[in-house]
Amino acid sequence: MNRDELSLSINRWMKENGTEAIALASKLVQIESVNHPPTGHEAEYQRYFAEWMSAQNAEVDLYDLADVPGLREHTAYMNTRNYDNRPNVVGRFFGGGTGRSLMFSGHADTVYEGTETWTYPPFSGTVESGKLYGRGSYDMKGGMAAALMAVKCLQDLNIPIAGNVYVESVVDEEHGGANGTLAGRLRGPNPDMAIIPEPSNMRVYPAHLGGGIWKATFTGKSGIAFAGEELISALEATIEFANLLRAYNDYRKENLEVPSWWHDRKAEVTLLTIFSGDVTRELQEKLPETGELNFWIEGYPGMTGEGIIADLWAFYNSQLANYPLLQKCKPQIRPLIRYLSASEMKNDDNTARFLELTTNSGTKVLGRPPEPPTGSPFACDGFMFNLYSDTPALVLGPSGGNAHAADEFLDIASYEALIQWYAEIIIDWCGVLGNEEV
């Protein structure tokens, strides 16, 4: 078969195997794998993943993070999690010759179902009107199912891929985890290139944002001023700090140097939660003694969590004259999760070639050129590849919506296009036996 015939056969295969592809994505959603730091419920999902790959003749490595030498001592390891019964798994497919190697790597865990009302039960994997609903369908079981089905497509078509193709499912990415991805880099393999199927809405992200969550706590002076004494509302101080963070967001957008990947979507400061006073009682009869504000700040490659907070304090001190309550009630700030570094693929001939073939194969599958490569608007674990291994990582995943919210869904048309796109990338990057390029 020549190259165009291969593409035609992939397209035909997808038309004939849509039902099976949807069933796999739905099954992955049905195996609940919620992360509850410091523990997580990924085990059953990981075992299913391992069994599925074994049944497809992969060489499978299912291992405990405790068995990875050097993990706990690594500078990027976050030592606040429990990894009992939370194995990583990686499968190796193909690789009969000398082609380049490629890994699809994604996280097994999801955030919890939340307190909002779902139209369909969150672990049902319900398919309705071109959408597959459920927690993790979009972030990121749909993308991982696409990687598995791309491999299966090439196997079914008996296309002898020359390089090794790996599919890796890691534990503990949500809530600033990423230790599972680090364990994968230390254990290996570390192939020539990696794709992270995080939901990118079919966009090609050679770089991703970083970010961290911090908590600011305030202690006021509570009570009722019967004698006219000065009291300090921690709630008012917390609100002033929230306003200061909003001003800081504007300040950063105007003053931070923006790497070219992010001209359309700059790093943000986001308010997450606010608590004040005794939240267990509806009636409050005094000024609140305490206030807490959780917030998220994003960063570009090269930034650190410490650097971001030092910059925030510098802004705080420069603006204090505008915030009278903060002068009396200073926040304590501490990180709630590790800072997830931003990162980008290194810029060399190999990554340039990979990006080019990814764009070309995307054009073939989508019937139009994909959107130009840009920086992702979200943080992820890609930095464990780009900063702590020799494998550059590209983020490319399906379309959908409502990530981390109710009615999370995977867009099925994009899922089927992504399976074909991945299959085309495997052929062009890893080569076909008897047809190897040098």
* Helical axes 142-156 vs 43-55, angle rounded to 10°: 10
Does residue 178 touch Zn ion according to CB under 5 A? no
Does residue 411 touch Zn ion according to CB under 5 A? no
Is 11 buried (19+), middle (13-18) or exposed (0-12) by CB count in 10 A?
A: middle
Does residue 144 touch Zn ion according to CB under 5 A? no
Does residue 428 touch Zn ion according to CB under 5 A? no
Window of 23-31, 175-183, 193-201, 321-329 that interacts with Zn ion by CB under 5 A: 193-201
Rounded Cα distance between 325 and 234, Å, is: 9
For the chain, what's the residue count?
438
Window of 130-138, 192-200, 212-220, 230-238 that interacts with Zn ion by CB under 5 A: 192-200
Q: Of 100 and 203, which has the nearer Cβ to Zn ion? A: 203
Cis peptide bond N-terminal to 189, omega within 30: yes
User: What is the closest distance, in whole angstroms, from the C-beta atom of residue 177 to Zn ion in the complex?
Assistant: 10
Window of 86-94, 131-139, 156-164, 219-227 that interacts with Zn ion by CB under 5 A: 131-139
Q: Of 61 and 139, which has the nearer Cβ to Zn ion? A: 139
Where is 96: in which H helix or E strand?
A: none
CA neighbor of 338 nearest in space, from 308, 313, 312, 305: 305
User: What is the closest distance, in whole angstroms, from the C-beta atom of residue 77 to Zn ion in the complex?
Assistant: 20
User: What is the closest distance, in whole angstroms, from the C-beta atom of residue 261 to Zn ion in the complex?
Assistant: 19
State the CB neighbour count (10 A cutoff) for residue 298.
24
Does residue 140 touch Zn ion according to CB under 5 A? yes
Q: Of 381 and 424, which has the nearer Cβ to Zn ion? A: 381
Is 242 buried (19+), middle (13-18) or exposed (0-12) by CB count in 10 A?
A: middle
User: What is the closest distance, in whole angstroms, from the C-beta atom of residue 211 to Zn ion in the complex?
Assistant: 13
What number of chain residues touch Zn ion (CB under 5 A)? Answer: 3
* Helical axes 412-430 vs 3-30, angle rounded to 10°: 130
Does residue 168 touch Zn ion according to CB under 5 A? no
Rounded Cα distance between 346 and 390, Å, is: 9
Between the CA of residue 166 and those of 59, 150, 196, 357, what are the distances in Å? Answer: 9, 12, 12, 19
User: What is the closest distance, in whole angstroms, from the C-beta atom of residue 292 to Zn ion in the complex?
Assistant: 26
φ/ψ region of 22 (left if φ > 0, alpha if ψ in -120 to 50, else beta) reads: alpha
Does residue 308 touch Zn ion according to CB under 5 A? no
User: What is the closest distance, in whole angstroms, from the C-beta atom of residue 189 to Zn ion in the complex?
Assistant: 22
Residue nearest to Zn ion (CB): 139
Q: Of 105 and 361, which has the nearer Cβ to Zn ion? A: 105
- Structural contact between residues 426 and 165, judged by C-beta atoms closer than 8 angstroms: yes
Interface pick for Zn ion out of 139, 172, 311, 411 (rule CB under 5 A):
139
Does residue 410 touch Zn ion according to CB under 5 A? no
CA neighbor of 325 nearest in space, from 285, 287, 282: 287
Q: Of 303 and 380, which has the nearer Cβ to Zn ion? A: 380
Binding mask 215-234 for Zn ion (x = CB under 5 A): --------------------
Window of 27-35, 55-63, 163-171, 196-204 that interacts with Zn ion by CB under 5 A: 196-204
Token pair listed for 8? 């035609």
Does residue 28 touch Zn ion according to CB under 5 A? no
Where does this chain bind Zn ion (CB under 5 A)? 139-140, 198
